[in-house]
Structure 1
Amino acid sequence: MLDLDPPAWLDDIEPPGSLSDYGLPDNVVPFRSDEPAEGMSGERPECTIRPSAFVWRDPATITPRQWIYGHHLIRKYVAATIAPGGVGKSTLTIGDAVAMASGKPLLGLKPHGPLRVWLWNGEDPREEIERRVVAACLHHDIEPSEIAGRLFLDSGRDVPIRIGETGANGPKVAMPVIDALIAAIRDRRIDVLIIDPFVSVHSMPENDNGAMDAAVKAFALVADRTGCAIDLVHHSRKLNGVDADIDAARGGSAIAGAVRSARALNVMSAEAANTLDIPESERRSFVRIDDAKANLAPPSAAKWFKLASEALGNGTADRPEDFVAVAAAWKPPDALDGMTADKLLTVQRALHEQCFRENAQAIDWAGHAIGKVLAIDSYGDAGKKRIKKMIAVWIKSGALKVVPIEDIQRRPRPCIEVGEWAAPV
C-alpha cells in the first residue's frame, strides 16, 4: 500500500519570502495569483497535476525499444546527422532512404523490414532529388518494385515546411504546421521522416537555446504522436581542422541535448589515409560515421562509407550524361586481408632461426624479411605500418613470438621467432 500522507517534517518548512529563495532569477515571475489569467473568463482553474505512482511490471512484458534502422533511428524519437558542408550528408541520407524503403542493409545498418520513408529536401529541386535516388538504386541494384509505394520525396521549393519563426515577442512554433505534419505522416503511414537540412524548416536564431530546444521538441512531438522516427540533418560550425562531434552542431547546445541519437560525419584524415595507403587525391571520398550521442544504445565502433559516382546514361546529342554521387558501404582493409595459411607459413619459414629483430628501427628488423616474401615495401610508411600490424596480430595469435637472443656482445635483444607453425593447406 502506498503511503500518500505528507511527511511530518513538511509542516516545519516555511514558504520562502522572495524569488531568490526558490533559486529563480529575479526576472522570472511565478504565476501564483488567484485572479483569472489574461484572456480567460470566469475563475482561474485549479492545478490538477498529480504524480503518477510506479507499478512494477514483469520485465518480459515491457516492449523492446523500437529501433528501426541500426541504432540510429528509433520510433517516437528524433535523431540528428551532423557534418560540415560538402562531406556527403545528403548523399548518405538518400542512401539511407533507399536502404530503409527496400529493407536492405545497403550501408551497413540493418532496417527493421521494408519501411515507408519520407525524404524532405529543403534545398534542391525535386528533379535533382529524383536524380540522386535513381543513381543510388542503380548503384545498389535496387529494382523500382523494391521501393514502390514506400519512398516519398518532396522539395522545399514545392512543399515548404516552416515549423517556427521569430516574432515580435521572440521565437514561436507554428502549431498548425506541426498538426499538418502529424496528419500527413499518419495518412501515409510514414515510418521515417528525414529533414534535410534542419535549418530549412525554421527561421529561429540558431544560437538561442530556447528556440532550438522548442524546434527539436516540436519534431519530438510529431514523432511521439505518429510513432515515426525523425532524422534532422544539421550542419556543424566551422571546424578549422577539428573533427565534427555532437558539440560541433551549429547553433545552441540545445540541439545536442534534445535529440536522443546523433551521428557525426568526417572525411578521412591525412594520417589515416597514409596508414591505409590511400592517395591524397582520393582521401575526401572516404567518410567516417561516428556515434556522436547514444543515449539509448551503447556507442558502436566507427563505420565508413565511400562517395562513388554513378552514371545515369541520360546523355543526349547536345548534353553529356549525368554522373551522380552515391554512398557505398566501405570498410578499412584489415592488415591480414588476403593472408592465407600458406602465406603465413612462408613468413614463418623466412623468420625461423634467423634472429630478426623486433625493433622496427633495426637494420635487421623482422619486418624487412616479411616484406620481401610478401612483396610489401617495408621501407615505405604505409607498408611499414601494415607489416607492424601483421606482426602484432601474429604475436597475439601465437603464430609468432618475441624471444630474447644475445647479440655478439652478449646483450639480450628482443627478436621475432616462430611460435605455433601454421598448418599447410
Structure 2
Amino acid sequence: MSSRERETLPVVRAADLDELDPARRWLIEPLWIHGGVGTIGGLPKSCKSWMAMDVAVSVASGTPCLDTFPVCDPGGVLLYMAEDAAPLVKARLLGLCRHRGLDLYALPIDVITAPTLRLDLLTDQQRLAETVRRQAPRLLVLDPFVRLHQVNENQAGEVAAILGYLRALQRAYNVAIIIVHHARKNGSSTGGLSLRGSGDFFAWVDTALSLRRRQHTLILSVEHRAAAPPDPLTLALLGTEQDMHLGIVRAEELAPPASADLDAMILDALERAGPDGLERASLRAAVRARNERVGEALTRLAAAGHIVRRGDFWVRVVPLPTPDRHRNGNGNSSAVPA
C-alpha cells in the first residue's frame, strides 16, 4: 500500500451504511436516546443530581424512570459524583432503591472514587477511557461538568476539545453519557440553550433534559436531536427521608388543600403513625403541602389540643373516653360519679 493510499479516510457507499435498529432506538423511552450523549441542566438546587440518579437506578435495574418511562436496554452504570461525599451518594441511591423495592447491593452501579477527574488533562482522559473499557457500562454519569475541568467554559475551542473527547468515548465503547451541567442564572433562554458557557454544549447533545423550578415543583423539558420530545412534565421531590425520590405530579395534586382539609389530613397521618408520631418532613411528604402551610396547621392543631410535640416528632393526642352515664329513676341521664 502506497503512502498516498494510507493517508485516505475510510469511505462506505451510502446504501451500505448500517440502518437504525428500531429495537435499540431508546435507552429510556422517550427520555434518552440509546447510546446518546447529553446533559441534565438547570439552576443550582433544581434536583439535577436526583434526576441523574433516578436515571442511573432505572438503567441498572430495568425499572421505569420516574416510575413511568420504560428502560429499553438495561445494563451497568458508572457514576462520578464530584460534589457529593460517598456516604451521601449511597444514602440517595439506597432511598431510591427502597422506594422501588430494590436491593442496591444487587444492582450493577459502580462509583468512581478518585478525588479529582480532569477531562482537560490527557492522563485523566486516558484513565477514564480505560475504566470505561474495563467496566463496559451502558451509561456513564459525570456530575457536575464544572468540577471536571479548569478551562474557560465560554471559550468554544476549549470546551469543544472536552466534548469531542466524550463523543469519541461514546462511539468507541457504545456508552450513553450524561453530563450534569448548570444553566445560566440570568439567561433568557430555556432548555438546552440555557446551559452555561459555550453554545457548543447544545450543539453536542443528542438529548438534553432541563429542570427549572416553578413555585414548589419542577418542570422537566426534554429535547432530542433526532426524535420528537414528550410534553414537559411536572415533578416534585416526594417521599420521606428514607425513600426520597423524584416523581411526576398531576394537576389535581398541585391544588393546595383548604385549611380544614389540611388539618384533617395531618390528623389522619398522625393517627396512622401511632404513638411514635412523625417528623415534620415526613408529614410534609404525607400531605404534600408547603412547609409554611404545614407549620401553620401544626400550630392550629397544637393550640386546639389535638396534637403535641415530643422532640422532633408530632403525635396525635388520644381523646379521653367520655364518662359512662346511666339513667336515673326519672329516665334522665346522669354522669356516674368517680
TM interval, shorter chain, is 0.5 to 0.7
- Residues 1:154 and 1:126: Cα distance change in structure 2 (over 3 Å): farther
- Residues 1:75 and 1:58: Cα distance change in structure 2 (over 3 Å): closer
Matched, 1:226 2:186: no
Matched, 1:306 2:252: no
Matched, 1:267 2:213: yes
Query: Following the alignment from structure 1 to structure 2, what is the Cα–Cα distance between the partners of residues 294 and 309?
Result: 30
Structure 2: state its 5+ residue gaps: 255-338
Matched, 1:115 2:75: yes
Highest RCO, 1 vs 2 (Cα 8 Å, sep ≥ 6) = 2
- Residues 1:95 and 1:55: Cα distance change in structure 2 (over 3 Å): closer
Q: What's the secondary structure of 1:215's corresponding residue?
A: helix
Offset from partner CA, 1:192-228 (integer Å, 9 cap, x none)? 0111101111111010011111111111111111111
Query: Following the alignment from structure 1 to structure 2, what is the Cα–Cα distance between the partners of residues 243 and 181?
Result: 33
Matched, 1:49 2:8: yes
Query: Following the alignment from structure 1 to structure 2, what is the Cα–Cα distance between the partners of residues 70 and 159?
Result: 34
Q: What's the secondary structure of 2:185's corresponding residue?
A: coil
Give the equivalent residue in structure 2 for 1:249: 195
Query: Following the alignment from structure 1 to structure 2, what is the Cα–Cα distance between the partners of residues 79 and 244?
Result: 16
The residue type equivalent to 1:307 in the other structure is L
Offset from partner CA, 1:274-330 (integer Å, 9 cap, x none)? xxxxxxxxx32x211112x31121122112321124233xxxxxxxxxxx7521233
Q: What's the secondary structure of 2:177's corresponding residue?
A: strand
Query: Following the alignment from structure 2 to structure 1, what is the Cα–Cα distance between the partners of residues 17 and 6?
Result: 33
Query: Following the alignment from structure 2 to structure 1, what is the Cα–Cα distance between the partners of residues 253 and 238?
Result: 21
Q: Is contact 1:77–1:230 with CA below 8 Å preserved after alignment? A: yes
Q: What's the secondary structure of 2:112's corresponding residue?
A: strand
Matched, 1:181 2:128: yes
Identity %: 21
Structure 1: state its 5+ residue gaps: 1-43, 165-173, 269-282, 313-323, 336-425
- Residues 1:301 and 1:204: Cα distance change in structure 2 (over 3 Å): same
- Residues 1:103 and 1:50: Cα distance change in structure 2 (over 3 Å): closer
Query: Following the alignment from structure 1 to structure 2, what is the Cα–Cα distance between the partners of residues 118 and 326?
Result: 20
Map 1:363-382 → 2, pairs under 5 A? none
Query: Following the alignment from structure 2 to structure 1, what is the Cα–Cα distance between the partners of residues 130 and 26?
Result: 23
Query: Following the alignment from structure 1 to structure 2, what is the Cα–Cα distance between the partners of residues 47 and 57?
Result: 22
- Residues 1:74 and 1:176: Cα distance change in structure 2 (over 3 Å): farther
The residue type equivalent to 1:253 in the other structure is G
More helix by share: 2
Query: Following the alignment from structure 2 to structure 1, what is the Cα–Cα distance between the partners of residues 35 and 56?
Result: 18
Query: Following the alignment from structure 1 to structure 2, what is the Cα–Cα distance between the partners of residues 143 and 75?
Result: 25
Matched, 1:101 2:48: no
Give the equivalent residue in structure 1 for 2:310: none
Q: Is contact 2:77–2:140 with CA below 8 Å preserved after alignment? A: yes
The residue type equivalent to 1:287 in the other structure is L
Q: Is contact 2:32–2:207 with CA below 8 Å preserved after alignment? A: yes
Query: Following the alignment from structure 2 to structure 1, what is the Cα–Cα distance between the partners of residues 17 and 156?
Result: 39
- Residues 1:46 and 1:253: Cα distance change in structure 2 (over 3 Å): same
The residue type equivalent to 1:161 in the other structure is L
The residue type equivalent to 1:81 in the other structure is I
Residue 151 (structure 2) aligned to one of 204, 209, 224: 204
- Residues 1:212 and 1:181: Cα distance change in structure 2 (over 3 Å): same
Residue 226 (structure 2) aligned to one of 275, 296, 318: 296
Shift of 1:334: 9.7
- Residues 1:237 and 1:52: Cα distance change in structure 2 (over 3 Å): same
Residue 108 (structure 2) aligned to one of 139, 142, 150: 150
Give the equivalent residue in structure 1 for 2:334: none
The residue type equivalent to 2:199 in the other structure is S
Matched, 1:68 2:27: yes
Give the equivalent residue in structure 2 for 1:92: 51
Q: What's the secondary structure of 2:27's corresponding residue?
A: strand
Q: Is contact 2:118–2:125 with CA below 8 Å preserved after alignment? A: no
- Residues 1:116 and 1:143: Cα distance change in structure 2 (over 3 Å): same
- Residues 1:121 and 1:53: Cα distance change in structure 2 (over 3 Å): closer
Query: Following the alignment from structure 1 to structure 2, what is the Cα–Cα distance between the partners of residues 101 and 301?
Result: 25
Q: What's the secondary structure of 1:311's corresponding residue?
A: coil
Query: Following the alignment from structure 1 to structure 2, what is the Cα–Cα distance between the partners of residues 310 and 142?
Result: 17
Give the alignment's Cα RMSD to 1 decimal: 2.8
Alignment: residue pair count: 250
Offset from partner CA, 1:153-196 (integer Å, 9 cap, x none)? 235xx4421110xxxxxxxxx33322222221121121101111
Q: TM-score, normalised by structure 2?
A: 0.66
- Residues 1:185 and 1:47: Cα distance change in structure 2 (over 3 Å): closer
The residue type equivalent to 1:331 in the other structure is R
